[in-house]
């Protein structure tokens, strides 16, 4: 079943198209990686999906409903959670309190406590649960943000550069986390670390210049000449 799709999705800024007529389909239960060189339009594209930006043209459909004009908070209520490329935590609150705030959007009472503790454990922050979020290392802030997304019990979890700032050991743990999360949510992963992409994604979509350049399995993308030329062989990949 297709959970998310876009048709002719475009976004222009002062006449410059950042995303150009993108058709995209994401089946439920899949881990999809979205890759491309810097400036390819990846963050703009997912911002259109989650409602942070309004498209210039085209449509976004989620679970069979046209959500193109819905604001971001209504998309969250429908089950779309987006973790930002720049962390968006509440720095003065503890890690536990941050996750609890996210959980309270959908749960009450004892359910909140149960979900918060399970989420903290799942993202590997159990030993830092009471630490002030602003004092966490950058990589741990990224994990906290993922936990805040998970606490919303999303049907679609969009992760924007989640391994940025993580150590090698934390990246290995993150790979396991993503595999575990696939049982609970469909995942759209925007990621520059190609080892992470190749190890976790069922399918990869490649944006270049705001257009969809290629889609396929990790093996197909690795062997795609156009992708190699546009992205995989570049120093900024």
Q: So what's the pLDDT on residue 47? A: 94
CA atoms of 147 and 134, how far apart (whole Å): 15
What's domain 1-42+58-79+154-237's architecture?
A: 3-Layer(aba) Sandwich (3.40)
pLDDT, tens digit, 9 for 90 and up, residues 147-196: 999 998 899 999 988 888 888 988 998 899 998 888 889 999 999 899 99
CA atoms of 96 and 93, how far apart (whole Å): 8
Q: So what's the pLDDT on residue 166? A: 85
- Residue 187 forms beta bridges with which residues? 31, 157
pTM over 0.85? The answer is yes
Dihedral of CA 184/237/169/148: which sign?
Answer: negative
The pair of three-digit structure tokens given for residue 133, joined into one six-digit string: 């979020």
Q: How confident is the model at residue 110 (pLDDT cuts 50, 70, 90)?
A: confident
CA atoms of 176 and 170, how far apart (whole Å): 10
| Torsion from C-alpha of 216, 22, 84, 148, nearest 10 degrees | -70
List all residues 6 or more positions away from 43 whose beta carbon is below 8 Å from its beta carbon. 85, 160, 190
- Residue 157 forms beta bridges with which residues? 81, 187
State residue 233 phi and psi, 5-degree precision: -95, 0
Dihedral of CA 61/214/183/93: which sign?
Answer: negative
CA angle 37, 62, 60 (to 5 degrees): 55
- CATH 3.40.50.300 range(s) for the chain read 1-42+58-79+154-237
CA atoms of 168 and 125, how far apart (whole Å): 16
pLDDT of 235 over the 50 cut: no
The pair of three-digit structure tokens given for residue 158, joined into one six-digit string: 């969009």
Q: How confident is the model at residue 105 (pLDDT cuts 50, 70, 90)?
A: confident
State residue 207 phi and psi, 5-degree precision: -100, 145
């Amino acid at each position: 079943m297709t959970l998310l799709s876009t048709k002719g999705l475009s976004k222009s800024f002062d006449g410059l198209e950042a995303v150009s007529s993108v058709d995209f389909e994401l089946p439920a239960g899949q881990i999809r990686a979205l890759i491309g060189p810097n400036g390819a339009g990846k963050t703009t594209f997912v911002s259109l999906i989650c409602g942070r930006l309004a498209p210039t043209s085209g449509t976004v459909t989620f679970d069979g409903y046209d959500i193109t004009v819905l604001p971001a908070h209504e998309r969250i209520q429908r089950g779309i959670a987006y973790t930002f490329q720049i962390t968006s935590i509440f720095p003065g609150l503890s890690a536990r309190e941050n996750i609890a705030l996210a959980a309270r959007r959908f749960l009450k009472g004892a359910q909140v406590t149960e979900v918060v503790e399970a989420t903290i454990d799942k993202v590997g922050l159990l030993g830092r649960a009471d630490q002030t979020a602003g004092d966490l290392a950058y990589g741990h802030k990224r994990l906290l943000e993922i936990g805040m997304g998970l606490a919303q019990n999303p049907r679609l979890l969009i992760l924007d550069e989640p391994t940025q700032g993580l150590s090698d050991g934390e990246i290995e743990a993150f790979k396991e986390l993503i595999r575990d999360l696939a049982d609970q949510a469909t995942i759209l992963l925007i990621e520059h670390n190609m080892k992470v992409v190749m190890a976790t994604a069922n399918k990869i979509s490649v944006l270049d210049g705001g257009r969809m350049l290629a889609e396929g399995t990790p093996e197909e993308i690795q062997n795609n000449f156009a992708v190699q030329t546009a992205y995989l062989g570049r120093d900024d990949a």
